Every structure is written in structure tokens, then in C-alpha cells.
Amino acid sequence: MAESCSPLKAGRRLVGGRSDLSLDLIRSLTELQDLEAVYERLCDEEKAVEKELDVLLEQQNTIEGKMITLQRMGPNLQLIEGDAQQLAGMITFTCNLAENVSSKVRQLDLAKNRLYQAIQRADDILDLKFCMDGVQTALRNEDYEQAAAHIHRYLSLDKSVIELSRQGKEGSMIDANLKLLQDAEQRLKAIVTEKFATATKEGDLPQVERFFKIFPLLGLHEEGLSRFSEYLCKQVANKAEENLLLVLGTDMSDRRAAVIFADTLTLLFEGIARIVETHQPIVETYYGPGRLYTLIKHLQVECDRQVDKVVEEFIKQRDYHRQFQLVQNSMMRSSASEKIEPRELDPILSEVTLMNARGELYLRFLKKRISSDFEVGDSMASEEVKQEHQKCLDKLLNNCLLSCTMQELIGYYITMEEYFMRETVNKAVALDAYEKGQLTSSMVDDVFYIIKKCIGRALSSSSIDCLCAMINHSTTELESDFREVLCNKLRMGFPATTFQDFQRGVTSAVNIMHSSLQQGKFDTKGIESTDEAKLSFLVTLNNVEVCSENITTLKKTLESDCTKLFNQGIGGEQAQAKFDSCLSDLAAVSNKFRDLLQEGLSELNSTAVKPQVKPWINVFLSVSHNIEEEEFNDYEANDPWVQQFILNLEQQMAEFKAGLSPVIYDSLTGLMTSLIAIELEKVVLKSTFSRLGGLQFDKELRSLVAYLTTVTTWTIRDKFARLSQMATILNLERVSGALRVGVRATAAHVPNQERPSFRRRDGSFSLSCPGRPGLFPGILQGRVLRCLKTSLPHCSVPR
């Protein structure tokens, strides 16, 4: 308790470099323990103070150097202080002077503005008096333009100027004059309206344009545009009715009779476009930018009326709806009682696409004109105003009767075009014919001519939706119907040979002749039909390949043509995405035709090539390769196998080379080469080789590879790499030489089903060479050739 109440607890640190232990505190201590504690603490504080003194003494030189520097800077600082005070005085003086000058400038500017306002008001008062006098004179002289100019000036005056004039000494006179001016305004409006109506009734275009220019001066912008639009609409209607009467009286033998309704719409659109081009400068000059939309909106209403009349007459004259119903019935029921001939639809479909193309061109013209007019008028407008104008434009173009009518016609057109394409394609398939000397039959060219014609006609309509629909229908037709036709022909397969050349199979010929003699006649019908089936299969393969190439070419052509359309402003990003999707589907069909071609090639290879090549390769087993020098020399003079094998290959591939396209023939040769490599490897692994037999095999392999290299553009050496390694190993003297060859064969080279051919004895594989101990065995069986080092690490060879 004494320690807890000790006065030493009052302070434990130095304060400002001094101890917080006071002398009175020390004197009050009576206990030895407290005195010792105070003593220890004072010693610690003394040490701390000494350290601080040492640190300060170490800084003495630095501080003295800085002090000397500061003493040297003293005179300079006095000069700087004097300069700063002088500069501050100059700045204060300049500031006061500038403030005085600017205040006087503001006063002058205010006086100038008030002077200008006074002058402007004086001018306005003078203008008002001038307008009062001038309008009366102009009306008396029937100078309506001048009178309208005075009224326009009066309407443009500031209302405060008029009120200021009325408050003057001559206020009563001003009121009287204002009353006269207002009466003159109403009178002039009535005169202009009457004169304009008279001019439009008489068809006096100069007078119509004269009074049309006066309306905006009187503040009658909307009325002027409305009345002028009525006049122009009457002109359009009269001309359209004349053209329609000419259409009804046109002889069907006329050169343009097939597209007479499209020509009529073209004349209508050209007439309206000519009106817009002619009067757009007048509207922009006298009515201001942004007013052309109003004029075109009124004209479009009349255009819709006339288009409706022309289309109605087109439907009636061309019997459009009835033909559409017949097409629908024919598509729903394959055996329709009244089936329409596709040839009859051709001119109608062409005319519909031409009509739509003209309509799209006309609408693009309107969009361009209105957009440019809005762009000028909205240069200083807010974003909301610009968006509102864009909505008005889109509504005008998309919801007008012209757009709706054309969409309806195109909807019918797509169904009829699909029917036309399907029926003509079926007819082309039914009339398929093959001309001697040609690689393909007639239906390929005919079908793709029809496809291109239908898609091209849809493209000419300038409607991306129509084009995409026809691309989809064409894709379906090619993928489903036409590809199925080719599939069925390929499913019949390449017929097995019934009568080969005697060099290919004497046995088959003898069997056929023997059968024919038993029947008492030699029937060649089966042979002829077989030859026809072979030819049909080869032609079908060529057809499939050409179809794939034609689809790719069609895709590239469509990409190029539609790029031009998109550059013209037809469609947007959504339309382009839809078009790209359709082209992707078309490209997928091309790949399906390529897959079908590969299936056909595999069928041809397994049916016609493999049954012939495999027996020819098996002859290799009947030729001994465990030979001595005498037999080797005899083989060199009279080749026992490879030359005859090459001759057989040439004879077999000759008919394929004549009947197949170069691309297909090259692919077939590649399949045959792979087959030869696989089958030859099998028979080699079953054969027995001596040292000279291995050399003979190497010569045969080189001759075969050299021949196959000349008949194909494919790289074949990789296919014969394993056989080449076998030939190399067969020509080695010892196992150590095989190791130096560097054949990196692993267990992966050995199929699982073939591995049991190895025989393990006492944990190792034993190889022997009868008659030649100490050498690499002359008998190589199983898979030893591929497993010599890596797969058989424990292989032991007798020495």
C-alpha cells in the first residue's frame, strides 16, 4: 500500500528536457527505497539528456553553416523586400486604374445599348407608320407582294414598340392607323386566298406559285402548304388517272405489256419526285427549313390513293389473288384438281418485284429529302425535337398505304415464288439427262439456274425480308428435296462388276458366258444396265461436287450484291444480321453436300476399288521373298508382282478418271492409296524375307510409290512411311543397325487386337533366323518390325 501511494507515481517522464521530479518532492522522501528509486530515475534522465546534448552538438557545424548563409542573405532580403513593396504599389495603382476604366467602359456600353434600343424603337415607329401608309398604296395598286411585305414587317414588330407609340401624344392617330393596318391584313389574307383558289382552278402555275409565296409573309405557313399541296395532289391525280387509262387500253402484245403496271407506278413516283425536286427550293426559301415534311405528307396521301387504284387494277387484270389461291391449294395437296403451270407465274412474279423495287426507291428518295430538310432545321434544336422528327419520318414511311400494300403483295409473292421454284426444280429433276462427254447431268445446271433466278428476282425487289425468305426457301429446297434426290441415287450404290475385261477377271467372264449358254442366248442387257448404273453413280458424284461449289459461289455472289444494297441505305443492322444468318445456313448446306460426296466416295471405294485391289495385293503372298541370288536375278528380269499390280491399277482407275471430275478423282485416288498401304502392310507382315528378298521388296515398294505419286496430287509418302521402314529394316545386317535407323515405334503403333501375335518365353521374346545364325532374322512375323526397340525392350537375338 505504501508503494501504491508513493509520490513517485506522480511523474515518470522528462518534460521539455527537464525532470518532472521537483526538489520539494525529493526532500519529502523519507524511505530509503524511494530515495534509491528517485536516484535511479534521475540517473536515467541524466543519460537521456546527455544523449540529446550529443545529438545537438553533432549538428553544431551544420547549424553554424546555415546561420552564416542566412547572414549573407540578409542584404539581399532587404533589397527583395523593397522591390516587393514597390511592385505591390504598382499593382495596386494598376488595379485601381483598370477598375476605373472598366467602370467607364460599362457605362459607355450601357449607354450604347440604350442608344441602339432608342434608335431601333424609333426605326420601328417609323416602320410602323411606313407600313400603315405603304400597305394601303400597295393594295390599291394590287401589288400584293409589297402589301404582304408591309404586313410581314408589321407582324414582326415588337409589341412593346406599338404600345409605346400609342402612349405618345399621337396615340389616338396611332390607334386609328393600327385599326386600318389590321383591316388591311385581314383584307389581304382574303384576297390572297381567293386569288390562289382562282389560280389553282384555272391551272395557272405561275399565279399559284406567286400567291403560294405570299402565305408565309402573312403568317399562314400551314394554310399555304395545305392549299398548295391540294393543288399538287390534283395534278398528281389527273396524271395518274391518265396513265391508268392508258394501261387499260394497252395491247397485250405490246413490248412493255408484261410490266405495264410497274411502269405506271414508276411514272407516278417519278411525277411526285419531280414535284418535290422542283418546289423544295421554294418551300425552303419562303417557308424555312423543316416545312418540306408537311408538303410531302400531303402528297403521300394522294400517292397512296393512286397506288391503291393501280394495285387493285393489277390484282384484277393479273388475276393475282386467284393464282395465289391455286398455288396454296397446290402446295397443300400434291394432287390438286386445278394445278397452275409455273411458267404462267413467271411474268407476274417479275412484275411484282419490279413494283416493289420502284416503291422502295421512291421511299428512299423521300427519306433522303426529308432527313436533309430536318437536319438543316434541327441544327440548333434539342435532342428531343430531333427524335420526335425522326419518329414522324419513320411513321410516314412505314405506315403509309404504299408500304402496307407492297408488303401484302410481297407476302403473296414469296409463297408463289416458292411454288415456282419447287415445281420447276422438280421438273428439272424429272427431265434430267446426261450427254456423252459431260461429267454432270442437266439437272444440276437447270436447278441452280432456277435457284439463282428466284433469289435474283427477290434481290431485285430491294426488300431484305423478301430476299431472306427466298434464301431460306432455296436452302430448304437444296437441303431437303434436291439433296434427297442425289442421296437416293447414291444409295443405289456402285454396282458390283458382272462382266469385267478379261485381263481383270477371266473367271467372272467364264461364269457369265456359261450361264448364258445354258439359257440358250447371250444376254447383254444386264451388262448394259450395269454400265448405266455405274455411269449414273459417277455422274451423281460429279453432280454433288458441282452442287457444293455452286452453293459456295452463290453465297459469295449474294454477299457482293447485298453489300451494294446496304451501302445504298437499304435495311439496317438488324436486316444485315438476318441476311448473314441466312448465308450461314446456305454455307451449312454446302458442307452437307461435301459430306454426301465423302459418303459416295467411301461407297465407291469399298464397292469398286477395294474388292479389286485387295486380291491383287494378296498375290504378293504367292510370290516368295525368301529367295537366293538366282531367283533375285530372275525377278529383276521378269517382275513377279509390282508391274502387273500397277498395270491393273491403271486399267481400273482409267474408267474413273474419264467419268469423274479431277477433284473427285484425286480424292478417290487418295482413298485407294491409303487402302493399298494398309493392305500391303498386312501381307508383308505375313511374308517371309531373306536378305535379297528384302532388297526385292524395297525395289517393288519404290516402284509402287513412284507410280502412285504421279497419279495423285496428295502427299502419299507419309502413308507408306511404315512400309518404307520395314523395307529399311529388312535390308540391315544386324540388330544394332536397326537401332541406328531410329525408328521410334511405340505400343501405340500396335493395335490391341494384333498384340497377341507375340509369343513371350521366359520373360523375353526370342527371334531366330534359320540358316543364318548371328544375323538379323530373315523371317519377320507379327509386329516385330514396329516394336523392335520400344515395344520389346527385352528382345534377345541369338548370336
Sole residue written with cell 461364269: 511
Answer with the residue of higher pLDDT: 558 or 498: 558
Residue 755 has pLDDT above 70, yes or no: no
Among 264, 269, 306, 304, CA closest to 401: 304
Residue 798 has pLDDT above 70, yes or no: no
For residue 274, what is its C-alpha cell?
Answer: 419531280
Query: What percentage of the chain reaches a pLDDT higher than 90?
Result: 28
- Give the mean model confidence (pLDDT) for residues 205-233: 89
Answer with the residue of higher pLDDT: 760 or 281: 281
For residue 331, what is its C-alpha cell?
Answer: 402446295
Residue 547 has pLDDT above 80, yes or no: yes
- How many of the other CB atoms lie within 10 Å of CB of 175? 13
* pLDDT at residue number 379: 76
Measure Cα distances from 112 to 102, 108, 116, 119, 120 in Å: 15, 6, 6, 10, 12
* pLDDT at residue number 740: 55
pLDDT tens figures, 287-338: 888 889 999 999 999 999 999 999 999 999 998 999 999 898 888 876 545 6
Residue 549 has pLDDT above 90, yes or no: yes
* pLDDT at residue number 590: 92
pLDDT tens figures, 351-408: 999 999 999 999 999 999 999 888 887 777 788 888 888 899 989 999 999 999 999 9
The SS3 of residue 689 is: strand
pLDDT tens figures, 731-753: 877 655 555 554 444 444 444 43
- pLDDT category at 91 given cuts 50, 70, 90 is very high
pLDDT tens figures, 133-146: 778 788 888 888 88
SS3 per residue for 490-530: HHCCCCCCCCCCCCCCHHHHHHHHHHHHHHCCCCCHHHHHH
Paired strand residues for 15: 18
Measure Cα distances from 283 to 219, 334, 373, 591 in Å: 14, 59, 10, 58
Measure Cα distances from 242 to 264, 270, 359 in Å: 10, 15, 20
Among 621, 675, 612, CA closest to 648: 612
Paired strand residues for 761: 764
- How many of the other CB atoms lie within 10 Å of CB of 235? 17
For residue 669, what is its C-alpha cell?
Answer: 485416288
Among 409, 538, 390, CA closest to 461: 409
- pLDDT category at 786 given cuts 50, 70, 90 is very low
Among 457, 454, 459, 458, CA closest to 428: 454
Residue 448 has pLDDT above 90, yes or no: yes
For residue 630, what is its C-alpha cell?
Answer: 538366282
Report CA dihedral (70, 72, 77, 80) to the nearest 10 degrees: -140
Answer with the residue of higher pLDDT: 136 or 611: 611
* pLDDT at residue number 475: 94
For residue 507, what is its C-alpha cell?
Answer: 473367271
- Rg of the chain taking only CA atoms, in angstroms: 53
Domain ranges for the chain: 220-422, 432-503+528-601, 623-742
* Residue 479, CA atoms < 13 Å, CB-side half-sphere: 14
Answer with the residue of higher pLDDT: 77 or 163: 77
* pLDDT at residue number 162: 66
CATH architecture of the domain with range 623-742: Up-down Bundle (1.20)
* pLDDT at residue number 734: 67
- pLDDT category at 237 given cuts 50, 70, 90 is very high
pLDDT tens figures, 760-776: 333 333 333 333 333 33
Cα separation, 353 vs 355, whole angstroms: 5
